Each structure stands twice: as structure tokens, then as C-alpha cells.
Structure 1
Amino acid sequence: MRKIKKPKLIITIAVLTLALLALMVYTQLKPGAGPVVGTASRALNPVQRAGRVLNDKVEETIDFYFNFKEVRDENLELKMKLAEQEAKIRKFDEIQKENIDLRAMFQYKERHSEYEYVGTNVINRSLSPLSPSYTLDKGLIDGIQRGMVVITYEGLAGQITEVYERHSILETISSENVKVSVVSAGRKEFEGILSGATILGRSNMAVITEMSLEAMIQSGDDIVTSGIGGFYPPDIYVGTIETVGEDPG
């Protein structure tokens, strides 16, 4: 019922207001009509008060709407600024990490200055669990050849298996196609062959075979390249032993 009464009240106030304006104009034309105007004014006072109350409510509603919109716009602006700051922080972290990586690579190069190095970037990745590989942005025109060893500042990554004019394919040591002669960093007299494997559904793993039980390898031991055969340089970090067991074969 309230929704029906409100429109009627607004219409009534509008009509009475027009009547008051007419009386005011009429009073100006006929000065003797003062008492009538006074009576009409007294009669309209309650309605005018109701009109002022309603007008105040309308103004409050309008103010609330504009204030809400202003707060909402400010909130949106703050969210955008926050997103920009977070993006800058992420970019800073990426640059910082890149600088750390470059510094580590430079230090590695200084420690192993007997080799020549070509810097590359990864531009694509294969999702195959059996032969994980990466596409590098260097190829024949950069002096890259099939069989070259690829390292990061953390250790051995794998070897180049395919070469094209402007890019090449790196197959990682977690690939079943890659074989690496390795030794324990603490017991270098015992050699084994490392190759990629998927163990209990986990990719990026590798197993070492053909290593004597006398090597006394333990979980937590670091594994490095042996350098035997001359294919991989010696003492490049490969990984850490997780479990040790006998080969049933």
C-alpha cells in the first residue's frame, strides 16, 4: 500500500505548490487579497513540512547514491593501483632472480674457463614425460652442434639432440634417451650410468645402474659427472640420491 500512496502524495504536493504560486501571483495583481494568501499559507504549512521532509529524504537518497558511486570508483581505482604495484613487484622479483642466475652462470664460467660457452634461452617446452625436451633460441648459425652438453648454474641439464639454423632441441637428463656416466661426489672411484625414468608416476626422475654395491651410495649423496669417455666434462652436478636399492636383474 505504501508504494501506491507515495505517488499520490507527490502529485498532491505538486498541485498545491502550483496553487500557492498562483495565489502569490494573484496577490501581486490584487494587493487586497492578503488575508486569503495568509490563510492559504497556514493551510499549506503542514504540506510544505511534509514536502520538505520528503525532499530531504530524496536528497539523502541522491547523496547516498553519489557517495556510494564515488566510494565504488575509488575502490576500483585502488584495486587497479594495487594490481599495478603487484605487477611491478613480480617484475622486480623476476629481474632480481635473473640477475642472480646470470651472476651464478658467470661464476661457473669463471671456475671452468677451460670450456667455451654459448648463452641460450628456452623458447618452448615439450610435455612428453618419456623424453622431456626444450627448444633453445640458438642454432647452427650460432655454432651449436648436435651432442653438445647443456648446463645451468645449478648443474647438468642435458644434451643437444637436434639442431636447426636458428634453434636447437635440448633433451634433458630425465629423458630415457640420455645416458650419462656419473659418480658420487664423495666416492669417485665407483662409476654408474644415469638415465631418465618415470618412477611411481613422477617424471623428471633418473636412475643409476651398473654401479657396484661397494660404492656404499646413500640417500642424500650428491651425484656428479665422471668425465669418463670425454663426452661430458667431469664434476658437473647432476642431482641428489633419494633412494637406494638392489637391481633384481
Structure 2
Amino acid sequence: MKKLFKKKLFLLLLVTIVILIVIGVSSRKNSKINYLASAFNFIMSPLQQFTSYTADKVDELTGYFGDVKTLREENKKLKERVELLEDEVRKLESYREKNEELKEALNIKEQFNDFEFCGADIIARDAGNWFNVFTINVGSKDGVSESDIVIAQNALVGRVMSADIMSSKVISIIDVDSTVSARIVRTRDLVVVKGDLKLKDDGLCRIEYIEPHIDISVGDTIETSGLGGIYPKGIVIGEVKEVRQINNELNRYAIIEPAVDFKRIEEVYVLKRKY
């Protein structure tokens, strides 16, 4: 063990002496050691350049991953901000809808001041895609009675056909059993709007037996006439979509597109008569 230690110590001392000699010689001008060092540097230069290039690329790669981490953090923050903004938009949209509902309610009060009104939600409907007959969540306890008028979006939906204590059943203007005394707004001509078995599947109704003297055109607005004792005057029913002839010019009928979307209706107003 001592011999091994002495041997290592000797080698270390020898290497140190050689290094000191090389340093001393190389410090002299025109030393051959300098030429050897220059040759060595020339040979090693490409390796040094490669090492330097590799180190730069490693630094760039390290910086890239650092940038990616930063971008991920910023992206996460932006996503959170977008979610907050989307939530605010949804709230604003809800407020806008409520505001429209309040405006609608106010318009109803001003237009039909002879009636009391109450809002209602549709809670059930008969089989099919359209609300030709449906149930609302107000009834006799709310003062609703048979033949009360039902509207939505300031347009005619139909009438109450029966009222229970907590709910009521409504028949809409597209149902085959519905008949409404109406008039053409442009000409003031009187007509009758009825539900139709085939047209109700498309959410439409019709004006039957249009007399020859009546001037009716596509785009005309149809509203209630106030005749017949059920529907008050001036409630919009819909618009003439098409005028058809049967056999000759004297036998015409018109297809009406209601102002209310009977496929997506959710809330209505019931107009209750003041006694």
C-alpha cells in the first residue's frame, strides 16, 4: 500500500515538473513548443468550432423549451379569460332576453288595457313536432278561464280550450279545430283563418274561400278583426305566404305563416277579460 502511494506521488511530481518546463520553454520567443502548440490549435480548431456550435444550439434549445413553457402559461391565462368573457356574454344575453320580455309585457298592457294578463310556461304538448295543442302552468287559481286569449311575441297563439286548477290546455291557430275572424291589414278586407290538417305539419294555417272582390297578395299581414266575440281586434296572426287557386279564379285560398314560431315556443301570455 505504501509502495503504491509513493509511486503515485512520484508520477504526480514528475508531471508537475514537465508542465513547469513546458511553460518555461514556451514563454521563450521562437520556441519549438510554440510551433507545436500552434499546430495543435490548428488541428483542434474544427473540434472547438463544433463544440462551440453545439453549445450554442443547446442554449437555443433550452431557451425554446423555456419559451414553450411561458407560452403555455400565457395560453392557460388567455383561456381562463375567454371563459370569463363567454360567461359575461351569456349573462348579458340573458339580461337582454329578460329586457325584451319586460318590453313585450309593457306593450301588451298598453295595447290591451281592457284585459289582465299573466305569463305562463308551456309544460306539455300533444304528440308531434308542433305546438298545435299544449298545456301551460296557470289555471283557474290564477284567474284563467275557457276562451281566454293566448299570445306570444305580440302575436296570436290561440285560446284556452279548458282550464284546471293548476294548468290549462291551449288550442293554437294551426290546429284543425281553430277558426279566427281576421282581416287583411293593407285592404281591411275581412277573412277567416283556419287550421288545416296538412298545413299544420309545417306550422302553417290558411284563409279559406277568398271572395273575388278581396284584394290579397303575398306578404300581406293578417290580424284579428275583433268580430266573433272571442279575439280582440288588432292582434297579429301572420303573413300571407302564398295565394292558390282551385279550378278557377273565383275559388281561391291563401296559406298563412304565423308570426309565432310554433316549433320553438316556450313561454306565452294569457289575456284575461276584466269583468
Same fold (TM over 0.5): yes
Rounded to whole Å, the distance in 2 between the matches of 1:37 and 1:62 is 40
* Amino acid aligned to 1:176: V
Equivalent in the alignment of 1:54: 54
Rounded to whole Å, the distance in 2 between the matches of 1:32 and 1:162 is 118
Equivalent in the alignment of 2:71: 71
Higher mean C-alpha displacement, 76-85 vs 224-233: 76-85
Q: Is the 8 A contact 1:190 1:212 kept in 2?
A: no
Identical-pair percentage: 23
* Amino acid aligned to 1:191: V
Rounded to whole Å, the distance in 1 between the matches of 2:101 and 2:186 is 26
Please report how far the alpha carbon of residue 119 of structure 1 lies from its aligned counterpart in structure 2 after TM superposition.
1.7
Task: Give the match's secondary structure for 2:190.
Answer: strand
Question: Within the alignment, does 1:145 sit opposite 2:141 as a pair?
Answer: no
**Where do 1:1-249 residues align within 5 Å?**
34-35=19-20, 53-122=53-122, 128-129=128-129, 131-133=131-133, 135-161=135-161, 163=163, 165-188=165-188, 190-196=190-196, 198-199=198-199, 203-247=202-246
* Amino acid aligned to 1:159: R
Higher relative contact order (CA 8 A, sep 6+): 2
Query: Over residues 127-152 of structure 1, what are the superposed CA-to-partner deviations in whole Å (9 max), with x where a residue is unaligned?
Result: 72465455534334323334421112
Rounded to whole Å, the distance in 2 between the matches of 1:105 and 1:37 is 104
Rounded to whole Å, the distance in 1 between the matches of 2:82 and 2:92 is 15
Q: What is the root-mean-square deviation of aligned Cα atoms in Å?
A: 4.0
Rounded to whole Å, the distance in 2 between the matches of 1:188 and 1:206 is 20
Q: Is the 8 A contact 1:150 1:160 kept in 2?
A: yes
Q: When you count helix as a share of all residues, which structure comes out higher?
A: 1
CA 1:117 to 1:31, structure 2 compared with 1: closer, same or farther past 3 Å? same
Rounded to whole Å, the distance in 2 between the matches of 1:121 and 1:222 is 27
Please report how far the alpha carbon of residue 182 of structure 1 lies from its aligned counterpart in structure 2 after TM superposition.
1.7
Q: Is the 8 A contact 1:105 1:153 kept in 2?
A: no
Please report how far the alpha carbon of residue 67 of structure 1 lies from its aligned counterpart in structure 2 after TM superposition.
0.9
Rounded to whole Å, the distance in 2 between the matches of 1:124 and 1:70 is 54
Higher mean C-alpha displacement, 201-210 vs 233-242: 201-210
* Amino acid aligned to 1:98: K
Rounded to whole Å, the distance in 1 between the matches of 2:100 and 2:125 is 23
Please report how far the alpha carbon of residue 83 of structure 1 lies from its aligned counterpart in structure 2 after TM superposition.
4.0
How high is the TM-score relative to the length of structure 1? 0.67
Please report how far the alpha carbon of residue 116 of structure 1 lies from its aligned counterpart in structure 2 after TM superposition.
1.3
How high is the TM-score relative to the length of structure 2? 0.62
Higher mean C-alpha displacement, 155-164 vs 62-71: 155-164
Q: Is the 8 A contact 2:150 2:156 kept in 1?
A: yes
CA 1:94 to 1:50, structure 2 compared with 1: closer, same or farther past 3 Å? same
* Amino acid aligned to 1:214: H
Rounded to whole Å, the distance in 1 between the matches of 2:59 and 2:176 is 76
Report the structure number with the largest CA radius of gyration.
2
Rounded to whole Å, the distance in 2 between the matches of 1:32 and 1:165 is 115
Rounded to whole Å, the distance in 2 between the matches of 1:134 and 1:239 is 20
Q: When you count strand as a share of all residues, which structure comes out higher?
A: 2
Please report how far the alpha carbon of residue 230 of structure 1 lies from its aligned counterpart in structure 2 after TM superposition.
1.3
Task: Give the match's secondary structure for 2:158.
Answer: strand
Query: Over residues 172-228 of structure 1, what are the superposed CA-to-partner deviations in whole Å (9 max), with x where a residue is unaligned?
Result: 3223343222222344453323225655x9712111114423222222222111233
Rounded to whole Å, the distance in 1 between the matches of 2:233 and 2:167 is 27
Rounded to whole Å, the distance in 2 between the matches of 1:137 and 1:125 is 12
Q: Is the 8 A contact 1:131 1:177 kept in 2?
A: no
* Amino acid aligned to 2:172: T
Rounded to whole Å, the distance in 1 between the matches of 2:162 and 2:106 is 26
